Structure 1
Amino acid sequence: MSGATTEPVILVEKSGGVALVTLNRPNAMNALSGELRSAIAETFEALEADPEVRAVILTGAGKAFTAGLDLKELGSGASTVGSAVNDKDPVTSIGQFSGPVIGAINGVAITGGFELALACDVLICSTNARFADTHGRVGILPGWGLSQKLSRVLGIYRAKELSLTGNFLSAAQAYEWGMVNRVVEPDELIPTCRKLAEDMLSLIPDCLVTYKKLIDEGFAETFGESLKTERRFTSERNQAVDAGEIEARREAIRQRGQQQKN
C-alpha cells in the first residue's frame, strides 16, 4: 500500500528566462512555516545559480499571497518568535537573486507577508489583494525590514497609520498611495507579470542586473552618497561599451519604439 504523497510547499515553473515561484500552502494561507522559509531560501539560491533564469515572479496559491509567520506553529512551541524571525529570513533569501523579482500579489499579504511583498522589485496586484501590518496586534515587532521600508515607500505618516492600527490597505488604496505598480483582475495577474518580465528581459542582460543593484544601493544611502555611488557604477560600466554596440542598440531601441507607437 503506497503512502500519501505530500504536496511541495513551493512550486517553480520555468519558461523563457522567467521562473514563476508559487508559495504552496493554500490551506494555511501560505503561512511562512519553518519548512516554507527553508524552501524559499533553497529555491532562490538555486534560481540565482541557474543561468537560464533572469527574472522571477513570486505569488501565492489559493486566496492568499502569504499571511506571514505561521502563528499556529509558533503557538505550539515548535519554535520561538526570535528564532523564526532570524532563521532563514525569506527577505534576505529573495535578495540572493540578482535579477528582478516581480511580486504577483494575488490575495492578502499580512505582517511577514507584507514584508515579503516589499522585498520584491515591482508589485502587481489582483483586485483581491490586501495588505496589513499586524505585528503590533500579535505583540511583536518586524524583523525583515517593514518598519523602515514602508515609511520610505509611503511616507512616514501613512506608514504609521498602517503599522500603529493594523488596519487593512486595499489594492486600490495601495495603488493610489504609490505602493504598487498596477492593479488588475485576478485572471490577468500572471499574464501581466509575464509581459512585464519579458519587457525587463529585453534589456542588455548584465545591464539589467547592474541597474537593479545601482538603484537598490543608492536607495539605502543619503542622496549625496547615492550620487557618488551612481558615478562609481557609471565609470565602471560605461567605459566597457564601444561605439559599435551603441549604434546597434540605438537601432533596436528605435524599432521597438516604433512598434509600441503602432
Structure 2
Amino acid sequence: MPLILIEIADGVAVVTLNRPEAMNALSAALRVELAEAMLAVASDDTVRAVVLTGAGTRAFTAGLDLKELGASTAGLGAANATDPRDNPVRAVEQCAKPVIGAINGVAITGGFELALACDVLIASTNARFADTHARVGIMPGWGLSQKLSRMIGLSRAKELSLTGNFLDAATAERWGLVNRVVEADALLPTAMALARDMASIDPAMAAAYKALIDDGFALPFGEGMTLEAERSIAANTQVAPEAVEQARQAVMARGRSQG
C-alpha cells in the first residue's frame, strides 16, 4: 500500500499521508515517499497548487513514529537533517507552489511542524494541535519553536509547548493559527476551492510572490521592506503596459462575478 497518495484535477494536486491505522505517523519510509511526492508535484507543470492532508478523520499526522524511535533513537539525527527525504518540512518547502494544509484530525508535535510548513491552514472541526516535544523529552528540529510564536504570539506558544495540551480547532482559528474551520465533510472541498483560486494565478508570479513573503518574513522589518523594493523594481520594469491592461480587465471581470 502506498504511504502517500496523489490525485490531480483542475490544476490542484491533493497529497494524502496514507497510514490511517498508525494515525499517519511520519515513519522513515513515509518521509521518503512524501519527499518524492512533493518533488513530483513541484515539477509537474499541470499542477499549480497543492493540498496536503491525512487519510481518515482521526489524524493529519501524529508526528514521528514513536514505535520506530522506541526501538532506536538513531533516526532522530537523520530526521533533523536538511535532506527532504528525512525532514518532511523540507519536503514541503521544496515546493515553490502554494501548499494548503487541510487539517483533518490531530496534528501532534512533528505533525504540528508539518502543518506549519504549509502556506495556509484549513481545519476541520475534528482538528486539534499539540506540541508534546517537552513531554517526550525531544527538542523540536523542524521549526516549531520559532514559527509558532511568530504566528500566535510568544506567551500562547509557551503555553502550548510547555504544557503539551491540545488546542482545539475553534481556538486555533481565534488565535490566528488556521484560516478557517469547517465541518469534516466540507474540509477537502473548501481547501480545493481555495487551491483552485490560487491555481488561477500565473504560476511564475505565484511562486515569486510566495518566495517574497517567506523571504521577507525571515528578515527584520526594515530589511524585508528593502527586499521587497529590490524585487519589485527588478520584476515590474519587465512588465509590458499591454499585459497590465489585459490583467486589469480580467481582475475587474472576476470582481464583478464575485460580487
Alpha-carbon distance, 1:214 to partner: 0.3
Structure-1-length-normalised TM-score: 0.95
Q: Which amino acid aligns with 2:121?
A: L
Q: 1:164 aligns with which of 152, 162, 165?
A: 162
Whether contact under 8 Å (1:73, 1:79) holds in the other structure is: no
Are residue 153 (structure 1) and residue 148 (structure 2) matched? no
What does 1:134-149 correspond to in 2, within 5 Å?
134-149=132-147
Output one character per residue of 1:231-260: Cα deviation in whole Å (capped at 9) or x when no partner.
111011111111111111111111111111
Q: Which has the higher contact order (CA 8 A, sep 6+)?
A: 2
* Percent identity (aligned): 61
Alpha-carbon distance, 1:46 to partner: 1.4
SS at match of 2:123: strand
Q: 1:22 aligns with which of 8, 16, 19?
A: 16
The equivalent residue for 2:77 is 82
Q: 2:186 aligns with which of 182, 185, 188?
A: 188
SS at match of 1:256: helix
The equivalent residue for 1:31 is 25
SS at match of 1:32: coil
The equivalent residue for 1:9 is 3
Whether contact under 8 Å (2:48, 2:198) holds in the other structure is: no
Output one character per residue of 1:22-50: Cα deviation in whole Å (capped at 9) or x when no partner.
00000000000000011111111111111
Alpha-carbon distance, 1:201 to partner: 1.6
Q: 2:235 aligns with which of 224, 234, 237?
A: 237
The equivalent residue for 1:54 is 48
The equivalent residue for 1:92 is 90
SS at match of 1:19: strand
Structure 2 CA distance for aligned equivalents of residues 10 and 42 of structure 1? 9
Q: 2:211 aligns with which of 192, 213, 217?
A: 213
Are residue 66 (structure 1) and residue 61 (structure 2) matched? yes
SS at match of 1:229: helix
Alpha-carbon distance, 1:129 to partner: 0.1
The size of the alignment, in residue pairs, is: 255
SS at match of 2:13: strand
Residue segments in structure 1 that go unaligned for 5+ positions in a row = 1-6
The equivalent residue for 2:117 is 119
Q: Which amino acid aligns with 2:174?
A: E
Structure-2-length-normalised TM-score: 0.96
SS at match of 1:92: helix
Structure 1 CA distance for aligned equivalents of residues 144 and 36 of structure 2? 23
Structure 1 CA distance for aligned equivalents of residues 11 and 238 of structure 2? 25
Alpha-carbon distance, 1:99 to partner: 0.6
More displaced 10-residue stretch of structure 1: 191-200 or 44-53: 44-53
Alpha-carbon distance, 1:202 to partner: 1.9
SS at match of 1:144: coil
Q: Which amino acid aligns with 1:232?
A: E
Output one character per residue of 1:60-99: Cα deviation in whole Å (capped at 9) or x when no partner.
0011000000000111127442233326110011111001
Alpha-carbon distance, 1:206 to partner: 1.3
The equivalent residue for 1:249 is 247
